[in-house]
A and B are shown apart, each in its own frame.
Chain A
Amino acid sequence: EPEVTQTPSHQVTQMGQEVILRCVPISNHLYFYWYRQILGQKVEFLVSFYNNEISEKSEIFDDQFSVERPDGSNFTLKIRSTKLEDSAMYFCASSVETWGSPLHFGNGTRLTVT
């Protein structure tokens, strides 16, 4: 069965550094999402992406964050200057439709900012 794959599984970075989290969504999916989960807290929506542009973003998704689909397969989340509070598990997901079809999640990237 097709899967959403995320790399790396764990990223450690120093405060102020830029990080890029990578995702390969399922190939026939059109809608792509990033979510994050701070340890011990609930999952939070960050951003949705469709037709090569952001369709929705949350208050968390400020100017430090950006997303890109640089080619036909990868979907990336960039954090320009990481802060300690960016430490979290970041999940990528994809779906065929915006809300009428199931979401498929990747296994997540655990980001640790020191």
Chain B
Amino acid sequence: KNEVEQSPQNLTAQEGEFITINCSYSVGISALHWLQQHPGGGIVSLFMLSSGKKKHGRLIATINIQEKHSSLHITASHPRDSAVYICAVIPFGNEKLTFGTGTRLTIIP
């Protein structure tokens, strides 16, 4: 069983739609990262969370430590948001970032 599960695996939406990507994990964590992987392969860190909620532009990330769940929301989605979004956690007591399999998001103009 994967320690980090993401849903959905694939998501296609129209430009302007509100997007939600979910991440569930099974271990106690120090922090959770949301990452964006571009079609060319490069990875960009979007958020690092250990509690609560963070917002950056049209992106919002939330985490519920008790429920071991995090969500990434994109408001007013745009075709340039098309990418793979990856949830990754740092389990307590080590530095081994454990990655989800990613959610492939496609925004259609």
A residues lining the B interface (CB < 8 Å): 31, 33, 35, 37, 41-45, 48, 55-56, 58, 89, 91, 93, 98-105, 107-108, 110
Give every chain B residue within 8 A of A33 (Cβ-Cβ): 95, 97
Q: Does B48 contact A (CB under 8 A)?
A: yes
Among listed B17-25, B36-44, B57-65, B69-77, interface-contacting one: B36-44
Interface of A is mostly: strand
- Whether B95 pairs with A107 at a CB distance below 8 angstroms is no
A79 to chain B, nearest CB (A): 19
Q: Contacts A43-B86, A99-B30, A102-B48 known; A35 to B97 CB distance under 8 Å?
A: yes
Q: Does B7 contact A (CB under 8 A)?
A: no
Q: Does B107 contact A (CB under 8 A)?
A: no
